Amino acid sequence: MLDFFQNTLDGAMVGASYALLGLGFTLTFGVMRRLNLSYGPTIMMGVYAGTAVSLNIYESLALALAVSVLISIIVGLCIEGICFRAVRSDNPLASMVSAFAVWMVLEEIIILLTWGRLFPVENPTGLATLIAGPISIRGDYLFLFIVAVVLMTLLYWMLFQTTFGRQVRAVGENPKAARLMGIDIGRVSRQIFVLTSVFGGLVGFFIAASMHQITPGFGLWATVKGLVVMILGGIGSVPGAVLGGFLLGIVELNALWYLGGGYRDLVAFLLLFLFLVVRPRGLLGTGRIGV
């Protein structure tokens, strides 16, 4: 029982970062009704850039985070322009295929630049493991959890307490009506790409730090986790993505402990399959954003 509690605690901390990955997919899909398969590679490019600066130029957490966020924003805006704005909005499959093509290009660029090698990522916080009786809390997990919760709180405030958030929810609810009300849907889409790129660049860096490395497969990893979380929570549901992230993290960490590392992803996909069969709408799926 103690092991289960420990794994659940660790899973909740990891799940908070999964929730942010899922929110990135949920927000872009909720606003544009199109799936951005390049979101994971966007994060990967930012994290690689931030890590390279930290390792080779100047060892500074603030600088590494700034570079990670900046590169993520630049790549995200390029993807928005190439794969979404320049592609007909009535053909979501075309945007998805073009985003997948950009994903492959970005991954190959990283492989060519790094020769396919992993980059070590040191724990930037320096926090040691906290011991509370029989329970231990990894310092990097705790910091990752705090960062993720702060970002989710900020996102909640932006979505429900600002004019920008009302515009996002209006576009997600009814794009045609939002356009008639004078909302610039193209501008809202670009703002969403910037917002999700900022959050992805930040949390992606700390995820890599908790893994102590980043590889060219990080983009695939982030994409898979984000899509699974979005589907578990319910496509288009912001609260659902948060719950889906925590659920996935808890299930994965318990599977890792009781079944072994080889079953961690397998159990996650079995959970996804179960939801698709039993509850395809997800935990809180409504088809609308922000509800």
Alpha-carbon distance of 20 to 151, in angstroms, equals 8
Which pLDDT score is estimated for 286? 60
Alpha-carbon distance of 121 to 47, in angstroms, equals 10
Q: Would you list the DSSP string of 206-230? A: HHHHHHTEE-TTHHHHHHHHHHHHH
Measuring CA to CA, which residue among 40, 43, 99 is closest to residue 230?
40
Residue given tokens 């605690």 in the structure block: 9
Asked whether 54 and 60 are in contact (CB, 8 A), the reply is yes
Tokens at 109, concatenated: 């660029």
Q: How does strand 135-137 pair with strand 213-214?
A: unpaired
Alpha-carbon distance of 51 to 48, in angstroms, equals 5
Alpha-carbon distance of 107 to 41, in angstroms, equals 7
pLDDT per position as a tens digit, 193-239: 999 999 999 999 989 988 888 899 999 999 999 999 999 998 878 88
Residue given tokens 């724990």 in the structure block: 123
| DSSP type of residue 118 | P
Residues of the chain with pLDDT below 50 are 287, 289-291
* Helix, strand, coil percentages for the chain (3-state, nearest 5): 75, 5, 20
Asked whether 201 and 68 are in contact (CB, 8 A), the reply is yes
| DSSP type of residue 81 | I
Which pLDDT score is estimated for 1? 73
Tokens at 102, concatenated: 């950009």
Alpha-carbon distance of 272 to 132, in angstroms, equals 34
Alpha-carbon distance of 280 to 96, in angstroms, equals 21
Asked whether 199 and 23 are in contact (CB, 8 A), the reply is yes
C-alpha distances (whole Å) from 283 to each of 60, 239, 287 are: 40, 9, 12
Angle at 14 between CA 111 and CA 107, to 5 degrees: 15
- Three-state SS at 289: coil
One-letter amino acid for residue 164 of the chain:
F
| DSSP type of residue 127 | P
Asked whether 107 and 214 are in contact (CB, 8 A), the reply is no
Asked whether 39 and 28 are in contact (CB, 8 A), the reply is yes
